[in-house]
Structures are given as C-alpha cells and as structure tokens.
Structure 1
Amino acid sequence: MRIQRENSLLLIVDLQIGLLPVIDGGDQATNEAAWLGGLAGELDVPVWLTEQYPDGLGETEPRLLKGLPGAIRWRKVHFGAHDEPAFASALAESDRRQIVLCGAEAHICVMQTALGLLEAGYEVYWLVEATASRRREEARLAMTRVTNAGAVAVSADMVAYEWLQRCDDERFKRAHRHFLKARASRSLRF
C-alpha cells in the first residue's frame, strides 16, 4: 500500500492566521506542510487548502499561499471538509484516492476530515509532523483515533520518497535538490 503521486492529493486543513498563534507546534506544521506542498508542486500532485470560517479565523497562513501558488482553496463551515458537498464532489471527480492530510486542529477539523474521507472509501495518510492542536495530547489522541479507524501515520520524508519512487530521472534530481536545500534549514525560513 504505497503512496503513488499519480493517485495522491495533499490536503492542508485550516492552517489559518487567526488560529496558528494558539497551536502547539503550529510553526512546524506550517513549515512541514509548505515543504511537502512545494515538492507536490514539482511532482504535479494537487494541493488543496481548506479554511474554516475565514471571516473569523483569517485566511490561510500567507507563507503557504505564497509558496503554493497552484493550490486550490476551499472555504468550509463543516468541521469535516468532506461534509461540504462541493468539496466532496470535486474530490470524487479528481480521481485521487490517496489523501495525504495535515493541518489544524488535529482533534477537530483534521480528524473529522480524516474520518469522513475514510467513510467515503479514500486512503488517508496522516502527516504527523504537519498536524497540530492547541494541546499536543489532543493531536496524539486524534492520530490514534484515525489510525485505529484505518488511516496511516506518515512523515513528510516517507511521502516524498514514495512520490519520487526512483533516483534516475530528472524529476528526482530537481526534487532532491529542493529536498536537500530545505532539509539543511528544516525550519524553512521564508
């Protein structure tokens, strides 16, 4: 059950400017999501961003918007993104069945999105270091709950190398240069 770039979509949930200041590990989650999102762009893996009530919580973190210019943004009122009819319909039409999922808050919107995706038959890959909550314990509980429901916990490195698959083509060389540069300063200063 490997993650295939042709079948994947990176879904970044609610990394918003009004929410991030109270998230334990919010900067790390943003940096990891930005790093993997940049690689996704190199490899033609779609990146989708959700925003929960942006009038109150603000828009997506500007570093993500700047670094992921091809990302599709979805506004939502449901905590679970898949409960939004337009989102669910567009996802079904995308033919992407493997969803690499991250964001905030892990125990609310990310978890409910994961559970909805699993119920709808998608493979869900919980990107551990890019998923956070106000309290770290709640993020751990959410990960346990969704992995018990069938999601798979992964790291950004796991996803990156599964997407890349091999080292003998130009995409790997470009992506690997990007990877090494970002890893040298993993905090990804923008």
Structure 2
Amino acid sequence: MPTTTVTRTYRIRREDTQALMIDVQDKFVPHIFDMDKITKKARILIEGLGHLGVPLTINEQYPKGLGHTISELKAVSGDAPVFEKSAFSSVDDEHTWRHLAMQNRHHVLLFGIETHVCVQQTALDLLDNGMQPVIITDATSSRDPYDRKIAIRRMRRAGAVMTTAEAILFELLRSSQDPNFKAISNLVK
C-alpha cells in the first residue's frame, strides 16, 4: 500500500488549542434563541477546558450598554482575561488579537453570540490570519435561528471546523486513560 505525506492535521490537539467566548452578556440573554441550552453547553465547555488546561479568552461587546459576561459563565471562567471591544470581529480588536496571537495556538474554539455577527466575522478574520476557527455549534446562537443557520453554512464553506462542546472535549481528551477522563465524563452527563 502506498504511503503519502499528510500536510494537514484534522485532529485537534489540546496543546495547539485555545478558546474564545464572544459576547455572552446580560442584555443579550432575553433575545437569543435557545439561550438556556447555549449557556449550559458553554458552561460544560468552559469547565472541561479548565480541566484540560486549554486557555480561555473572553470578549465583551460594549459592556457599558450590554452588560458583562453572564454570572453563570463568569463564575466558571477562572482568571480568563476579559477584553472589551467595539468592533464586531474579535480580530479587529487590537488587544484581543494580540492576546490570541501570543498564545501561539493555531486552533481557536469559538462560541458565544451572535453567530451571524461577531462569531462569523471573527471566524472569517481568523482564517484570513492563518488560524483555524473551530465553531462550537451547540454553544453559539443568534436572535433568529435562520441567521444562525446561514452563518454556520458560510463559516463551514470558508473553512471553519464545526463541532459540539461534548465532541471537542473528548477529542482534546483523546483517551479514557487521560487523568481528566472522569471529570469530563461527569460534566457531560
């Protein structure tokens, strides 16, 4: 059987991964489709990433008017840095972009709101800057489910990876022999 050299890695490794939570803020909550599920999946993801040592960064869009990150998620975010932004794309915010680039981790897990605005623009800009966005589809939403659906389709076609909170945690875990297996398993039950 012939052998080939693979230049692209499809599996996502924790040592090459970071996460960015986008704009999960107080004033958005009543308007976002399926927000209870989004919050639950985001909490599971954040706690799991903490067990796995994957760094988390938080963005807040104009917190003076939109409030801060919701308390349920802030409580499990540890000492994750929070960057205020006014641009829709996190990459367009100089402080956020510098922080993400300095992590030297190619894969960026994206989750938050709204899928068709800030998440999508961030994903497209990450691709333009040579990074690989990984959209946590069950931890991102919009006011209108149709806007979310079209944004997911566009990001996928542009080259973003689509997955779920549980799937990415087990992919980063890689094996039931990992010391974090029990903690991750308990989170997703």
Give the TM-score normalised by structure 2: 0.92
Structure 2: which amino acid aligns with 1:146? Answer: M
Alignment match of 1:95 (pick from 88, 104, 123)? 104
Residue 41 of structure 1 contacts residue 70 of structure 1 at CA under 8 Å; is this kept in 2? no
Q: Is the 8 A contact 2:91 2:125 kept in 1?
A: yes
88, 91, 95: which is aligned to 1:82?
91
CA contact (8 A) 1:104 1:133 kept: yes
In the alignment, the residues of structure 1 paired with residue 147 and residue 48 of structure 2 have an alpha-carbon distance, to the nearest angstrom, of: 28
Aligned residue pairs: how many?
A: 180
Instruction: Tell me what 2:147 maps to.
Output: 138
1:75 is paired with a residue of what secondary structure? Answer: strand
Amino acid in structure 1 at the alignment position of 2:56: V
In 1, the alpha carbon distance for the partners of 2:95 and 2:43 equals 25
Gapped runs of 5+ residues in structure 1? 184-190
Q: Higher helix share goes to which structure?
A: 1
SS at match of 2:180: helix
Rg larger in structure? 2
Match of 1:44 in 2: 53
Structure 2 spans left out of the alignment, 5+ residues: 1-9
Please say if 1:27 is aligned against 2:68.
Answer: no
RMSD: 1.1
Identity percentage over the alignment? 34
Amino acid in the other structure paired with 1:120: N
Of 135-144 and 22-31, the range deviating more from structure 2: 22-31
The aligned runs of 1:5-20 (5 Å cut-off) are 5-20=14-29
Distance 2:120 2:24 in 1: 14
User: Deviating runs (4+, > 6 A) in structure 1?
Assistant: none
What is the CA distance between 1:14 and its match in structure 2?
A: 0.4
After superposition, what is the alpha-carbon deviation per residue over 1:33-80, rounded to whole angstroms, capped at 9, x for unaligned?
111110000110011111000000000011001111232211101000
Cα distance between partner residues in 2 of 1:157 and 1:170: 17
